[in-house]
Amino acid sequence: CSCNTLMEHPSRVGKYEVEEFLGGGMSRVYRAKDSVLGRRVALKILAEAAASDAEAKARFLQEARIASSTAHENIIAVYDFGEEQGRPFMVMEFLEGESLRDAIENQRAGDFARRMQIALQVGRAIGHIHLKKIIHRDIKPENINVDRTGRAKLMDFGIAKSDNLQLTKAGMTLGTPYYMSPEQVLGQDVTPQTDVYAFGVLMYELLTGKKPVEAENYERIFHKILYVPLNLEPLHEAAVAPAAIDLIRKCMAKPPAERPQGFGTICGAIEETLRQGALQPRPAPVQVAVQHDVTEDELPGFLQILPA
């Protein structure tokens, strides 16, 4: 069947042959093949119901334009975008690997050095979009892809803000609660410092496996973000390098002005921490005999995860 029938799962969009539905809600993501170039791609299409919403449609096209303007080795590449029978679509590189969320939860993010390398790549990607006057506003492990070589790529610009276009309604707060900065919670103007705060949250979780703020409902989460001092104990328990702890503390400062000013500074601090770690002698490994049956879930493996 043809996409021209506007089926919920089209078989073709322009020159792109749909191969498999990968997931999604308001936007559907498919593995597809470029029939001209012969390469595998990820095809993201606004769902039929959402395509009738003018603001949802405009936001989808804004995401496509923003993402296509941010070529960087640590950012997902957007090859093409357009509209088919009233439904906007974008065509992205097909990423092998898994989300950073899965890597953290399944303990596949590696040792401290590898985790810091992932953080460094994410920091470089955010620094790149900031140079282009783009604020991501939704930095979180779900929006980072990591492949088996350790290459990290920033994804999903669905609520990104650029200087040229802002579709957020007055008073509307966008973001994922755990990673929102105090100014986002308060509905204040969002600046690049919002991404700095979220990056600090991401680093905290990457290095400890725990969120720095957890509560049973949004109200308690927001209260902690606004008023409760950052708990550094899990970082100490995880034996995180003091310099990395200090960087996280600074990134998560509640006043935006107290956070590092720019990702050049942040990436420089991460690079220095990695250099210091390489110079320090490694302790002899402690041999501990543990009886443990390995489950299927613990076997190394990589899922194909794409932004939805």
- Which residues are part of the catalytic machinery? 138
Question: Can you count the helices (H) and strands (E) in the chain?
Answer: 10, 11
d(CA 145, CA 213): 23
Give the list of residues 6+ apart from residue 197 with CB closer than 8 angstroms, or none: 179, 181, 182, 251, 252, 253, 256, 259
Tokens of 246: 């200090």
Contact 185, 224 (CB under 8 A): no
Contact 203, 249 (CB under 8 A): no
Strand 40-46 versus strand 16-24 pairing type: unpaired
User: What values do phi and psi take at 33, rounded to 5?
Assistant: -125, 130
d(CA 275, CA 2): 55
Tokens of 45: 């299409």
d(CA 193, CA 182): 11
**Vertex 37, ends 21 and 147: CA angle to 5°?**
55
HSE, side-chain direction, 13 A CA sphere, residue 127:
16
Strands (E), the chain: 12-13, 16-24, 27-34, 40-46, 78-84, 87-93, 98-99, 134-135, 144-146, 152-154, 161-162
